[in-house]
Chains A and B, each alone.
Chain A
Amino acid sequence: MDTLNLAQWVFDSLTGTGLLWLAWMALASPQLIRAIVIFVAFGLLMALTWVRLDAVDIALAEVAIGAGLTGALLLAALAKLTAAQTEISKSDHRPRDGRAVRALRQLPAVLMFLVAAGLVYSVLSLPPVSSGLSVEVDANLGTSGVENPVTAVLLNFRGYDTLLEIFVLLLALLGVWSLGGLPPQRVAPAGPVLHTLAVVLTPVLILLAAYFLWAGVKGPGGAFQAGATLGAAGVLLQLAGWRPGPGFARVHWRLILVAGPALFILVALFTIVAGRHLLEYAPEHAGTLILLLESGATLSIGLTLAGLFFGERPDDGYDNDN
């Protein structure tokens, strides 16, 4: 075994055991802030693992969504949880959980166990040697309109998957809003350092989103990576004290939120009317249509993620009696 192989073996076994250990630590930690820090570290290590496996598309998504935005969402949840707990301890009247509630708490554990068992079963039932569908994807890449096989699968060969995923994201935000959102939170104004950082970094993030969107045609990148980068710009603005005003929340925000899903549905209907299958593009238009769909999806994903971080029902000027 030469030096490089040995080093790779050490690296890979450390990442493997490290991931399992971090996952356990994150789950077992009684302090929530510690659990979140470990979860973010887990996301970064996971991303490094994808880097090591040369799966650049997934590494990008894991960095942006797994480590970056999920960490920020968990922190926002923690901040609001702490606020709520302070309220409860002030009133000094903590209701005790009944037996039914405690039994219900076991339900997620049972469900997760079933999902894990299903996953183990399907992994074990996979054929030991298989090239998967990569041969077919490569054979049809020429007609897909893009050069990156991952984008071809996500937006062309299995475009309906992406269509449904975008609706799931939108539904999550609508769920938050339907529940009335969280009460507005008072945040200290940003100091000069944070202000400068936000002023410099936000345009960079928006430019990077455009770059990842464009790069997805030829190489790793695409709507989810770009959308997450845009969402990070929204998160940073909120961290620096920006709040969506009534005008923005009433018209622009809602329009952009539905732009991605609406474009998808329009294109899907258009392909059916033209006598093709759902989201089956004519090869000569495929490239343009994919870029159009991805642009819409990027904007919608970005603003959905930023809205989830916001967590409140937007102040749209209407009288929504909470």
Chain B
Amino acid sequence: MTPSDYIAVPLLVSGVMFFLAGSAGLLRFPDVYTRLHALTKSDNVGLGLIVAGLVVEADSWFVVGKLLFIWLLVLLAGASVANLITKGAMQRGTRMWTR
């Protein structure tokens, strides 16, 4: 392992942990709003951490730029689509889960 690997590996592994947590939420949470809540965070942070890990390993600034650009695009799209889905679900009267 090179020194940069000591930084990259924890970032990559924790990124995947966020994805696993997100799918646990997708499987177990009781309604669409809570599932959305779990996923938007885990996806954006998970991809962010993995991109950060890959940036540490990247061998050119061009690759770094492309990786960050992809992350920004996913952030923008994810946030917007999550908003659209929630709004649509509320307008159509999908009820929120209560204990």
Q: Are B83 and A193 in contact (CB under 8 A)?
A: yes
Interchain pairs with CB closer than 8 A, number: 17
Q: Are A196 and B87 in contact (CB under 8 A)?
A: no
Q: Which of B77, B80, B87 has the most CB of A within 10 A?
A: B80
Q: Are B84 and A193 in contact (CB under 8 A)?
A: yes
Task: Produce 1/0 per residue, A258-293, CB < 8 A to B.
Answer: 000000000000000000000000000000000000
CB-CB under 8 A from B87, the residues of chain A are 191, 193
> Is A204 in contact with chain B by the CB < 8 A criterion?
yes
CB-CB under 8 A from B73, the residues of chain A are 201, 204
Instruction: Give the size range of A's interface with the partner.
Output: under 10
| B contact face: mostly helix, strand, loop, or mixed | helix
In chain A, positions 197-250 with a C-beta closer than 8 Å to chain B are 197, 200-201, 204
Min CB–CB distance A229 → chain B (angstroms):
13
| A contact face: mostly helix, strand, loop, or mixed | helix
Min CB–CB distance A127 → chain B (angstroms):
40
> Is B58 in contact with chain A by the CB < 8 A criterion?
no
Task: Produce 1/0 per residue, A172-211, CB < 8 A to B.
Answer: 0000000000000000000101101100110010000000
Q: Are A201 and B77 in contact (CB under 8 A)?
A: yes
Chain A residue nearest to B83 (CB atoms) is: A193
Q: Are B76 and A201 in contact (CB under 8 A)?
A: yes
Q: Are B83 and A200 in contact (CB under 8 A)?
A: no
Chain B residue nearest to A197 (CB atoms) is: B80
Q: How far is the CA of A247 from the CA of B80 in the complex (A)?
A: 32
CB-CB under 8 A from A197, the residues of chain B are 76-77, 80
Q: How far is the CA of A194 from the CA of B80 in the complex (A)?
A: 7
Q: Which 4 A-B pairs have the closest CB atoms?
A: A197-B80, A193-B83, A193-B80, A194-B84
Residues of B in contact with A (beta carbons under 8 Å apart): 73, 76-77, 80, 83-84, 87
- 5 A-B contact pairs sorted by A residue (CB < 8 Å): A191-B87, A193-B80, A193-B84, A193-B87, A197-B80
Given A193-B84, A201-B76, 6 further pairs, Cβ under 8 A: A191-B87, A193-B80, A193-B83, A193-B87, A196-B80, A201-B77
